[in-house]
Amino acid sequence: MLNRRNFLTAAVGVAAATGLAACAKEDDSPAGSTSGGSKALVLGFSQVGSESGWRSANTDSVKSAAKEAGYTLKFSDAQQKQENQISAIRSYITQGVDVIAFSPVVVTGWDAVLKEAKAKKIPVVLTDRSVETSDESLFVTLVGSDFTDEGRRAAKILEKVLEKAGHKGAVKIAQLEGTTGAAPAIERAKGFKEVMEADHADDWKIVVSQTGDFTRAGGKQVMAAFLQSNPDINVLFAHNDDMGIGAIQAIEAAGKKPGKDILIVTIDGVKDGFVAMSEGKINAIVECNPLLGPQLMEVVQKVKDGETVERWIKTKEGDFMQDQAKAALPTRKY
Ligand code: GZL
C-alpha cells in the first residue's frame, strides 16, 4: 500500500502500450477525435460500485473528464465485488486498451491480473484507492487522497468539536468503518488511532467499531446495534458521510439528538453531508475529493506517451466545521 515515505517522489516511466483498441464494448463513451487523425486513446476503467454519494460523484468526474479529453472510455461498475473488477480488467486486456485505470475495492488479491496486464504491456493507473503488492512495477501511479492523513485530520477536528461543544468527561467513541479490507477503511482507522493514542490516551476510547460498508443502510443498521450495546456513546466517527447520514436516522429513532447528544465527525464532504451539517446533525467533515477525473485523464495521456509520472498524485482537500456548512453549500461541486 502506498504511503508518504515510500512513494512520494519515485518517478516511474512506462513504455507506451501499443495495443490496438478492440471493437466497441458496453458503456463506451463515443470515440473522441484526436489531432492528426490518430485513434482516440482507449481507457478501460473499473469502478468499485455506486455505494455512496462520493462514488457517484467520482464516476461522473471520470466519465465527463474522459469525454472532455476525447478518449474512448470503457467503464464497468463492479457492485463492490473484487471478482467483477478482475473480470473487467481481464476484458480490457483482451480488448487491448491503451491504459487500464481502476479503484481497487480492497487492497489485496490483485497481483495475478496486474501481471497479465503487464505481460501485454498495458500500463495500469490506480485511482482513489491503492493496493498492497510487493511488485511496484504492477502499477504506474496512484491518483488519490492520503487516507491515513484523513484519519488524523478527523481526530484533530474532533478536538475542536469537543471544545466547541464544551464537552466534559470521557469521550466514548463509536467508529463506523468503511468496507472491510479497503484502503480508506484501513488507513482512516489507522490515522485516527495514531492521534488518539498520542494525544488523548487518557480520555478518548473507541468503545465499539464495525463496518457499515460505506453505505447509508449499513450505517443505520450498525449504529442502531451500537446504541443497544453502548447507550453511553457520545461521539461517532464515521469513515464516510453516507454511513454518518444512516447513523443519524438510528440516533433519532433512539430518541437522541445527533450533533448534540452524540457529536459526529465524518469524511467525504458530499452535498448531503453538508446539508446534515447545516442542520446541526453533523459537527465536522473532513473532505475527500472525488473529482479525480481531470487529474486522471492528464496522467493517462502521459502514461500512454511513456512520460515519467509521480508515483502518487495527491488530491487537494479541506476540513469543515459546522458553522462553515451554510456558506460552503452553494459552491459544493459534488
Ligand atoms: C475514498 C473512497 C471511499 C469514500 C466512500 O476515496 O474510496 O469510498 O470515502 C466511498 O464514500 O464509498
Centroid of ligand 1 to alpha carbon of 24 (angstroms): 30
Place of cell 464532504: 269
pLDDT digits over 97-144, tens only? Answer: 999 999 999 999 999 999 999 999 999 999 999 999 999 999 999 999
Biggest CA–CA distance in the chain, Å, is 69
- Give the pLDDT of residue 189: 98
Q: Is the per-residue pLDDT at 284 higher than 50? A: yes
Q: Report the nearest-CA residue for atom 3 of ligand 1.
A: 184
Which of 52, 186, 239 gets mutated to test ligand 1 (max ligand atoms within 8 A of its CB)? 52
129 lines ligand 1 (CB under 6 A): yes
CA distance 317 to 309: 21
Global pTM value: 0.89
pLDDT digits over 255-280, tens only? Answer: 999 999 999 999 999 999 999 999 99
- Give the pLDDT of residue 333: 87
214 lines ligand 1 (CB under 6 A): yes
Centroid of ligand 1 to alpha carbon of 168 (angstroms): 32
- C-beta separation of 181 from 146 below 8 A: no
Within 10 angstroms of residue 268's Cβ, the number of other Cβ atoms is 30
Going along the chain from its start, the domains and CATH numbers come out as: 10-143+291-314 (3.40.50.2300), 147-288 (3.40.50.2300)
Three-class DSSP category at 161: helix
54 lines ligand 1 (CB under 6 A): yes
Centroid of ligand 1 to alpha carbon of 16 (angstroms): 30
Q: Average of pLDDT values for 18-30?
A: 43
- The chain-wide mean pLDDT, for the chain, equals 91
58 lines ligand 1 (CB under 6 A): no
Place of cell 456558506: 327
**Per-residue confidence band for 36, with pLDDT thresholds at 50, 70 and 90:** very low
% of the chain exceeding 70 in pLDDT: 89
145 lines ligand 1 (CB under 6 A): yes
Which of 47, 51, 216, 240 gets mutated to test ligand 1 (max ligand atoms within 8 A of its CB)? 240
80 lines ligand 1 (CB under 6 A): no
Q: Average of pLDDT values for 65-71?
A: 97
52 lines ligand 1 (CB under 6 A): yes
Centroid of ligand 1 to alpha carbon of 136 (angstroms): 24
Give the ligand 1 atom nearest the CA of 129: 7
Whats the size of the chain, residue-wise?
334
Contacts of 74 (CB under 8 A, 6+ apart): 25, 27, 28, 42, 43, 44, 45, 92, 95, 97
188 lines ligand 1 (CB under 6 A): no
288 lines ligand 1 (CB under 6 A): yes
Give the ligand 1 atom nearest the CA of 103: 7
% of the chain exceeding 90 in pLDDT: 86
Beta strands 11-12 and 124-127 are: unpaired
Q: Is the per-residue pLDDT at 319 higher than 90? A: yes
pLDDT digits over 149-201, tens only? Answer: 999 999 999 999 999 999 999 999 999 999 999 999 999 999 999 999 999 99
